[in-house]
Amino acid sequence: MRALLQTLRGVRHCATSTKMAKEVSEISIPVPWGEIRGKVWGPDHGRPVLCLHGWADNCGTFNTLIPLLPKECRYVAVDLAGHGLSSHRPPGDFYSFSAYVADVRRVADALQMRKFSIIGHSMGESTIRFSALYPEMVDALVLLDAYGFLPTDLKELSKVLRQGMDEMLQFEKTEKKKRVYTYEKAVERLLAANPTLSERSVHILLERGLVQVDEAGFVFSRDLRVNFKNIAPISLEQSLEMQSRIQASVLVVLAEEGFSRIFFEPAQRKFTSTLLQYLQDRNHMVAKVPGDHHVHLNKPEVITSFVSDFLRENCVLNNRIKSLIISVFLFFNFIDKSEQGDDGHTYRMFYSCTV
């Protein structure tokens, strides 16, 4: 596969320095309503790994983790629609997991990523749903403090769907005016909303999470509509059926003080335990680490060994074996022979043989 960032039409890039920690390219991928922005680390021909952030975050969430991961990979981290520096969806459009899946496919097509791995944090349903709908494209899946699907009780489906619609309709009737903050107040606001973030992590996320509107003011860049209820909830039965379609190896890394703490109701715990057991029954890996929901950003060294070993085993090693097989095939598939032509000259011919 040609270099992900240097030969693709319509994709803009801006490369920087030479070391992995600093060698970052900014990319812009055109979509029907604007652009999806992102960042890329790693060698041009490295095994592609697509990194998807959590709800209301942006691709900066991987800034501290990616430099610690295998250098053989090419990491593409994007701001999902309505987040970070990416365009907001058009007026009247809903944000849903299915829409995010379509965006992931748009990114993969634009970057010519036919087979790749995915690292997804928190908002895991778009990550795992893509892996279920396009299983042939994903060879390894890492879920960081995420259970993948977050099913809704059958009795609550219509209620959740109605709430999401009502929120959107009410939003469309109100004046669209964002509050302006000083940078210091924006830091305080994000810390208050996400108390598990370290102050350093807050500054990292605000690099793409703020837009300056005047000399002293900033607004948060994310679309307010991402806060609304998902209008396409699915049941536990639907979740398990879709999960069964995943062909990739799966690693789930759960933080002890993370996502699991918000699922305290018996029905919620039943759902999450069922999903995890389903993965374990199929020989996928589930690991628990000390830390909170943003441990991958606050203290990436806590999870680095799990993720690195998993990627090496399922992506890097497999890619090397594949390259070796292709090399051997090409070596034996063409036999160099010399033949004399009708004009009396000797010509070198290459005959293909079946191996």
Helix/strand/coil (H/E/C) assignment for every residue in the chain: CCCCCCCCCCCEEECCCCCCCCCEEEEEEEECCEEEEEEEECCCCCEEEEEECCCCCCHHHHCCCHHHCCCCEEEEEECCCCCCCCCCCCCCCCCCHHHHHHHHHHHHHHCCCCCEEEEEECCHHHHHHHHHHCHHHEEEEEEECCCCCCCCCHHHHHHHHHHHHHHHHHHHHCCCCCCCECHHHHHHHHHHHCCCCCHHHHHHHHHHHEEEEECCEEEECCCHHHHCCCCCCCCHHHHHHHHCCCCCEEEEEEEEECHHHHCCCHHHHHHHHHHHHHHHHCCCEEEEEEEECCHHHHCCHHHHHHHHHHHHHHHHHHHHHHHHHHHHHHHHHEEEEEEECCCCCEEEEEEECCC
Q: Which residues are catalytic?
A: 122
